[in-house]
Amino acid sequence: MRRAVCPGSFDPVTNGHLDVFARAAKIADEVVIVVAINKNKSGTFNIEERMEMLREVVAPYPNIRVDSFMGLLVDYCKANDVQAIVKGLRAVTDFDYELQMAQMNYRLTEIETLFVSTNPIYSYLSSSLIKEVATYGGDIDGLLPGSVQERLLARIAENKK
């Protein structure tokens, strides 16, 4: 069984992430979306909320599941028999950092990182940019899965109270 992970913060999951997950699910037998727990960063959604939204949106894919991890990604991969890390590359701006992480991860445990070229319709998307636009009332239709958009708008409204 070839198992791959798609790691990230997913605060929250976007349609761009979802595109990468679906493509990873065609390559690997099983894909685990792993949410990185960062104790120094609280985020818009807590880890449980992020995982709940992820579980909802990957429900149609039988070979995708959701988990979380703390510490080094390579340690999670080793402990869970993961053969590859799959990442989306949006543009050259992603490249330097992603290559650096891929090379470091390879040095640590010889795990492979596979890059999926993000669908151009999503190449400008990031969770933080979507949150900024939504906070100031901009149109974010079509950028997030519907249920995630509802939750984000509700959270922004709560935070403004």
Q: Which is nearer to ligand PNS, 59 or 104 (CB)?
A: 104
User: Is 117 annotated in the active site?
Assistant: no
User: Is 26 annotated in the active site?
Assistant: no
Contact string (CB under 6 A) for ligand PNS, positions 26-45, x = contact: ----------x---------
Among residues 145, 115, 110, 113, the alpha carbon closest in space to that of 130 is found at 145
The answer to whether 53 contacts ligand PNS (rule: CB under 6 A) is: no
User: Is 41 annotated in the active site?
Assistant: yes
Coil, helix or strand for 112? strand
Cα Rg of the chain (Å, integer): 16
DSSP code for 113: E
Rounded to a whole number of angstroms, the minimum distance from the CB of residue 106 to ligand PNS is 9
Rounded to a whole number of angstroms, the minimum distance from the CB of residue 104 to ligand PNS is 4
Rounded to a whole number of angstroms, the minimum distance from the CB of residue 9 to ligand PNS is 4
The answer to whether 152 contacts ligand PNS (rule: CB under 6 A) is: no
Is 48 in contact with 68 (CB distance < 8 Å)? no
Q: Which of 27, 99, 104, 121 binds ligand PNS (CB under 6 A)?
A: 104
Q: Which is nearer to ligand PNS, 15 or 105 (CB)?
A: 105
What lies within 8 Å, CB to CB, of 6 at 6+ separation is 17, 20, 21, 24, 31, 32, 33, 34, 85, 86, 87
**b or e along 73-104 (b: 16 or more beta carbons within 10 Å of the residue's beta carbon)?**
bbebbeeeebebbbbbbbeeebeeebeeebee
Q: Which is nearer to ligand PNS, 8 or 151 (CB)?
A: 8
Supply the residues annotated as catalytic: 17, 41, 90, 127
* Residues making contact with ligand PNS (CB under 6 A): 7-9, 36, 72-73, 101, 104-105
